[in-house]
Each structure stands twice: as structure tokens, then as C-alpha cells.
Amino acid sequence: MKLEGRVALVTGGSRGIGRAIVERLTREGAKVAFIYHSNTEAADEVVATLKDDGHEAVAIQADAADHEQADQVVKDVIDKWGKIDILVNNAGIIRDGLLATMEPANWQAVIDTNLGSVYNFCHAVMRPMMSERYGRIVNISSVSAEYGNQGQVNYAASKGGMQGLTRCLATEIGRRNITVNAVAPGFIATDMTEAIRNAAEGEIKKRIPVRRLGQPEDIAAAVLFLASDDASYITGHVLTVDGGLTLGGV
């Protein structure tokens, strides 16, 4: 129970990596609120499953890319539980395509959701965490931030920006006992990667030294570590969790 007595807020928590993070944090003793955008059925199922296991979680429908909604979510969680100790920024989308033919709307949607939401929620929790003189912020980035993938200029830009934000913010608030880190997943088996897996899973595995795809639980374990007091002397770090995929580039 590494997180007993802690309160966590997770964006994009109804499925995939986000759901695994929500489940792991609650099972380590935290009270967890998570944001979802539109899939109410999936969000309700997560809450019901955790409740059946004796854990406390709440789902909040909101657009993570909306600054005012982010402020309201943080206010609501603090009103309910008195504080927020842990923030996990996981909300993200993909709108892949070559830059030459990419519509401006697809560029902006990815930047606003993947990077803008990190600003929104970090900004919203700053004063409460500084007042408590405690905080753990974990941003979910991607190996795409450092290794170019054709057709992902918007996604890679958003994740690269997130890593820069992580390092800069860590320098600003470390003296308040608030750490800011990121996790960079490699190829993880989620709904978002299903199309690629269906087309080339065998080839992808050959490029991964551990010879398997990552699971959402692999990322959740890394988040738990960075969110716990075991990582109290780690800040401004990007932890790559990719089974060795990027050892030879992607």
C-alpha cells in the first residue's frame, strides 16, 4: 500500500494505459479521480470494478484540453477529498498523417489534447500542491518524442513539448517538495495501436529485445514508482519503458 492516504487525479483514465494506471494507484491505497472524454460506459465500468474490490475511485467527464474545465475538475476533487497529491497526465489522441497533407485541425487537436492538457492540469494543481508542500506529477510521453516516425509530426511534437515542460517545471517547483517526471512508453498493446498490431505485430516484436509488446500494466508500474515516495529524489527525468525498442532506434 505505497499510496495509502494519497489522492490522485488521472487524465484519460477510462481505458488502455490510463485505466491500468487508475487501477494500480487505487490498489496501492490511493483515492483516485479520473477524467474521461466521452466513453461513459467504459468509465462507469472502471469505477464499478474498483468498487467491487473495495477501492475508491470517481469518474469525471471533461475535456482535458479545456482550461476552464481542468480548473473545475481540480476544484471538485479538492472539495471532495481535501487535496491532490498525485497528478498523472495521460490524456492523448493521434491524428497521424504526412505533414504535406495534414489538415490544420488535425495538427491543433493533437497539440491541444496531448500538450495543452498537461499545461491545463499542471497549472490547476500548482497552488494546491505548493500549499501542501507535496506533489508528484507524472506525464505520459512517448518514445516518438525522440525518435522520428513518419506520419507523426503532430504527435511527436506534442510529446516532445511535454518532455520539455517536464524538465522545466521540475526546476521551478522542486523546492516545494513537488517532483515532475515523465514516462515514455514504447509499443504498448492498446486500442490505439490495434491497427498497427494487426498489420505488423510479428515484425514489431522482432525489433524489441525482450520479444514482446508492452502491456498497459508495464506503464502503470513505472507510474506507481514515480508517484511514490520511493522516487522522492528523482525529478525532471524521462523514464523510457519500451522493452529495449529504442536501443537501436525506432
- Domains for the chain: give ranges and CATH numbers: 7-242 (3.40.50.720)
Q: What residues are labeled active site? A: 155
Terminal CA-CA length for the chain: 36
Residue for cell digits 495509502?
Answer: 4
Mean pLDDT of 69-73: 98
Mean pLDDT of 197-224: 86
The Cα-based distances of 26 to 5, 47, 51, 200, 229 in angstroms read 11, 11, 10, 34, 16
Number of C-alpha atoms within 13 angstroms, CB side, residue 157?
Answer: 17
Give the dihedral sign, CA 101/107/110/111. Answer: positive
Lowest mean pLDDT among 89-98, 186-195, 239-248: 186-195
Mean pLDDT of 181-196: 83
Of 228, 138, 227, 153, the closest CA to residue 185 belongs to 138
Whole-angstrom Cα distance, residue 64 to residue 228?
24
- What does the mean pLDDT of the chain come to? 94
Residue count of the chain, please give it: 250
Whole-angstrom Cα distance, residue 15 to residue 212?
21
Whole-angstrom Cα distance, residue 166 to residue 115?
11
For 109-139, the pLDDT digits (tens) are 999 999 999 999 999 999 999 999 999 999 9
Whole-angstrom Cα distance, residue 103 to residue 105?
5
Number of C-alpha atoms within 13 angstroms, CB side, residue 207?
Answer: 14
> What pTM was computed for the model?
0.94
For 217-248, the pLDDT digits (tens) are 999 999 999 999 999 999 999 999 999 999 97
Residues 6+ apart with CB under 8 A from 92: 12, 113, 114, 140, 158
